[in-house]
A and B are shown apart, each in its own frame.
Chain A
């Protein structure tokens, strides 16, 4: 037998699959946009999009759904990256729609703008006439995501109907749609949290400082560490204290939990994630509201 050396390691295979999906989006759609949150998954999607079209620039703009409750570090990173890559950035602001009265803000201790992202996203898609939005969701994140397609069909209200998704076979992705309908496409569906970290390390991709260990004023609620920040109303018994922490996911301040961690490098993070006994979304208050929280949000148009 001939000795075969034509084997891809799994990170290269995942990379090739994702690049294929991103190029398929460019070929099948008129007006794509990349959803960019400043988190590692959307950073990865953006990096893969660069690879997909090199040496041309990424032919799509980035869209940031700005809840107004951002960590400063996220915005710094975002602006730096946008200028480095020479891509266009669109910002859809939750605050603006609150100010115009189109949205009503939750109040109280558990108030979060996370749910307000959905209508803002849908409006931004409508206003920008985007026919597809690329997102960094992964199937290992959450059980409703485990059944999501690479090409996720949404009706004219942006709704996801889990029973009416198109089967995806081989390398064949059906992006046909009627006018008004659109798609969400998830190029890194098959990556796990650990895969993402390993790849970011191999590719030496710069990341927001929030992911690395730092000292921050936090307080504890329902077993989670939340940032001590004006956007979150603290109860009287929720006393802030300084802790050495990092964030495993980056989202809206009000629902992103921190973890105690000494990890200061990507290698430390990989070691920590590989031995971790909880999922990364375990630190997200938005998934804790109900057993089917994600499924319900997706049906309404969340990505």
Chain B
């Protein structure tokens, strides 16, 4: 077994119960043998109790009692399976408009988004919404699964029409890599095994795609960014003067001896050592958690950032964002919120709401500027102290923020810096 050399791929699935999303996930887990006998037995009993003839694979992904009672998925659920090539984490998100916030959550860390289309209905509003959110969250790879091909007699022209229809609107979106696969989650066509019913399809199965899609460049390896998360000072005799800056590399490749600039001070130093419990490292790169030691005795703290002199992030207090609102209480213009950005915490004020985006039509509404739960809009904010940021397009880690309500402490918005 060579599992420890395998890579990790995170993907998100968006769709409603009707699209067969749960069946698709159940099928992937089942065919990848990630379902155990006791789980299968439990859902067989439930299927029987509900009067079904066949085992309902979608029951595998129903989590909480409230969800099972209503027969819907409310929250993001995480599923795991692996093949000899990769380990997979599925963020299974509900597809209905009122759960936009869950889709955004699941999408924030995904390498791949699966968008399900019912072959009988073609591209509908929900499809466009899912594709748009995948592009807004900059998921690097998008797979359009045209499902229920068994119900349209596995016809090639149905597939071609839906593909053309999708491309007609997706050119407006910021997605680099779109892939189409005709499937039947129920019957298992093109999920793990090649379909015997669609010889006209020359592409790969879904699992083959997930196992082989190139994710090596999904991180930013160019722009060196190291947000200081925690300062390690052992205060022991052995490590008397040790001062390590612990954190997770947010961008770039770091080596011992690199000349660095520190923000916000602007001081210069050099990397003396990249440390870990397993010994000194030659290099550090995303998404490694490491400890950096500098040659100069400086007193840095959490929320500061180590970068390179000739490649610095923006440093500003006035910031333009796309935001997705999560709270039942609408966003307050001129309201003040706590903001988390990398390891830095600040406060901010909402200075202007530029427009609200209709996520079905992509129309920018400049009249109705009330941003409520699940709404997406463009705003500008001012922060109490400068942030060290990149555009979200350039770096998903240094380009993202969350806003927190100062009264309830709830996370009320996700923001992507423009």
Contact = CB atoms under 8 A, between A and B. Distances in A.
B115 interface: no
A173 to B, nearest CB: 8
B229 A20 contact: yes
Given A11-B4, A143-B62, 5 more contacts: A8-B287, A23-B246, A147-B77, A167-B411, A177-B409
Contact of B89 (A169, A190, A295): A190
Contacts of B38: 278-279, 282
Interface in B109-135: 109
Contact of A167 (B3, B221, B238, B326): B326
Interface of A: 4, 6-17, 19-20, 23-24, 26-27, 50-57, 139-140, 143-144, 146-147, 162-163, 165-172, 174, 176-178, 189-190, 192, 194-195, 198, 202, 270-271, 274, 276-279, 282, 291-292, 295
A10 B411 contact: no
Interface stretch (B5-13, B174-182, B258-266, B358-366): B5-13
Interface string B288-303: 1101000000000010
Contacts of B289: 15-17, 19-20, 23, 52
Q: For the side of the interface on B, what is the size category?
A: 35 or more
B200 interface: no
A272 to B, nearest CB: 12
A4 B108 contact: no
Nearest to B396: A170
Nearest to B227: A171
Contact of A13 (B8, B275, B278, B404): B8
A23 B230 contact: yes
11 contacts: A13-B287, A16-B287, A20-B248, A27-B229, A51-B278, A52-B246, A55-B244, A140-B79, A163-B74, A166-B411, A192-B80
A16 B63 contact: no
B108 A170 contact: yes
A76 B409 CA distance: 42
A9 B5 contact: yes
Contacts of A24: 229
Given A167-B326, A176-B404, A16 B79 contact: no
Interface string B54-83: 000000001111100000001111111010
Nearest to A17: B287
Contacts of A270: 1
B171 interface: no
A17 B80 CA distance: 16
Contacts of A7: 7, 216
Contact of B78 (A8, A53, A146, A166): A146
Kindly name the residue among B230, B275, B302 whose own CB sees the greatest number of chain A CB atoms within 10 A: B230
B414 interface: yes
A279 B342 CA distance: 37
A9 B229 contact: no
